[in-house]
Chain A
């Protein structure tokens, strides 16, 4: 089945800096890659997703890039704000139609 590795597990940045979270996947047939944000004690919520026919997607301060050849994708957050502090999960939809999630990255934005 699909295996998704996510790095780093924790990330601390100063407000206004950029944050980058990277994920790799194993199933070359995977074609859908969502990112979820989970605040402490809350449910995961989709923040952005990308499909395999697209190399990059941007939504305001958030962008995601995909390299299918290398089987890795990344989340970029620019001009970070304290409210961006949360756990971020990447996921990949493999050939079995299931989403496999990474272990998560705890992002802390220091004021």
Chain B
């Protein structure tokens, strides 16, 4: 198994531009999570999906952020318009089951820099 796949691995963009981050979960996993990691705030859950349905998006910082999961093997996190404070590492993770008591497998992350 290739594990969780994220693209791009690095993204540098200018303030105001749209950014789209992509994630392919492990095949067979039915829960998918988007996290943001910064030095100041640590690892924060932005949104999670179960069986492609968004269950909790209370961690999404504001309306500039949106996430979709059109099918079981693909999810996107979009920021429009981007701002310098969005600079962070964004991780996607997946797990088997929705109880929250199973291991979450993290992808390699996307390092986003907004100038």
Q: Are B48 and A46 in contact (CB under 8 A)?
A: no
B98 at the binding interface (Cβ < 8 Å)? yes
A60 at the binding interface (Cβ < 8 Å)? no
B100 at the binding interface (Cβ < 8 Å)? yes
Q: Are B104 and A99 in contact (CB under 8 A)?
A: yes
B108 at the binding interface (Cβ < 8 Å)? yes
Residue with the highest number of chain B CB atoms closer than 10 Å, among A46, A97, A104? A97
Q: Are A97 and B42 in contact (CB under 8 A)?
A: no
Which of B43, B91, B99, B107 touches A97 (beta carbons < 8 Å)?
B99
Q: Are B106 and A97 in contact (CB under 8 A)?
A: no
Residue tally, chain A, CB below 8 Å to B: 21
For chains A and B in complex, what number of residue pairs have CB atoms within 8 angstroms?
44
Residues 52-111 of A at the B interface (beta carbon under 8 Å)? 89, 93, 96-104
In chain A, what residue has the closest Cβ to B43? A101
Q: Are A43 and B100 in contact (CB under 8 A)?
A: no
Which of A43, A102, A103 touches B106 (beta carbons < 8 Å)?
A43
Report the bound CA distance from A100 to B33 in whole Å: 12
Report the bound CA distance from A46 to B100 in whole Å: 14
B109 at the binding interface (Cβ < 8 Å)? yes
| Minimum Cβ distance to chain B for residue A73 (Å) | 15
Residue with the highest number of chain A CB atoms closer than 10 Å, among B56, B104, B108? B104
Residues of A within 8 A of B (CB): 31-32, 34, 42-46, 49, 51, 89, 93, 96-104
